[in-house]
Amino acid sequence: MRRKLVAGNWKMHGTLQKNAVLLEEVRRGVSGLGCEVAVCPPYPYLGQAQSILAGSAVGLGAQSVSEHAFGAYTGEVSAAMLLEFGCRYVLVGHSERRALHGETDAQVAAKFEAARNAGLVPILCVGETLAERQAGRTESVVAGQLSAILDRFGVAAMAAAVVAYEPVWAIGTGITASPAQAQAVHAAIRARVAARDAEVADGLRILYGGSVKPQNAVELFGQADIDGGLIGGAALVADDFLNICLAANR
């Protein structure tokens, strides 16, 4: 049985004051839940989140990581630095990083490996654009994004990773993939991993992301291959985020 994971991707939102309230509420609200919960605040707030969440059940993650260990990479943050701030997870290949910062599959793979080598759990984000879906290319796009990891590092690299399927057209738009649409892609992802190693595929957590709300979370998380969610907008509202966590706990 895969333990569900709900991770909040705060993106570039927050202030010290607002975060303090949100983190306290999340910390209190998740105690006793059976699912795993994590938050991914912007880099400068990791220290604040680390201290507020200390000793709680809420895990900490970052939204990106450098593929390099150290050096002359202005503006970048290494995996070792994230570990020092208590991070367990890191998003790699979020569609906003791919689209707005030009991250290629090769770069995403390098970040994935840098994270894994440091002992972080990479959450590999994959997903198609609307044009790709309309052209019937959803599965091949997602397969290509997965292959960038599988072909380079082998299926074993997936054993200590998480995948997040986030259709680009559903992110921040209020349009969610239907549970059946999401399930179909999740099953295809798992089958692709299973073709290389059934055990790794069986243990792999595949999160859904893209306009998850308390109202649609129960049905999404009820699908056989959906093992939780990556939550953007709704992760900034404590009640919404906690209700989504509750939906993963059923």
Residues classed as catalytic: 94, 166
Residue 39 phi, psi dihedral angles, 5° rounding: -125, 145
Nearest C-alpha neighbor of 39 from the set 83, 88, 96, 79: 88
Give the count of beta carbons closer than 10 Å to the beta carbon of residue 139. Answer: 16
Q: Quote the least distance from Cβ 100 to ligand PGA, whole Å.
A: 12
Look at strands 228-231 and 5-9 and give their pairing: parallel
Identity (one letter) of the amino acid at 131?
A: A
Nearest C-alpha neighbor of 144 from the set 159, 157, 126, 156: 126
Q: Considering beta carbons, is residue 29 or 229 the nearer one to ligand PGA? A: 229
Length reported for the chain: 250
Q: Quote the least distance from Cβ 170 to ligand PGA, whole Å.
A: 6
Of all residues in the shown chain, the one whose CB is closest to ligand PGA is: 232
What letter does residue 191 receive in the DSSP assignment?
H
Instruction: Give the ranges where 54-129 is alpha helix by DSSP (H).
Output: 79-84, 95-100, 105-118
**Beta strand spans in 154-197 (E):** 162-165
Alpha carbons 250 and 248: distance in angstroms, whole number: 6
> Can you give the binding site for ligand PGA, defined by CB under 6 A?
9, 166, 171-172, 209-212, 230-234
Q: Considering beta carbons, is residue 200 or 227 the nearer one to ligand PGA? A: 227
Q: Quote the least distance from Cβ 71 to ligand PGA, whole Å.
A: 29
Alpha carbons 100 and 62: distance in angstroms, whole number: 18
Q: Considering beta carbons, is residue 162 or 234 the nearer one to ligand PGA? A: 234
Q: Quote the least distance from Cβ 213 to ligand PGA, whole Å.
A: 8
Q: Considering beta carbons, is residue 161 or 171 the nearer one to ligand PGA? A: 171
Q: Quote the least distance from Cβ 232 to ligand PGA, whole Å.
A: 2
Q: Considering beta carbons, is residue 35 or 235 the nearer one to ligand PGA? A: 235
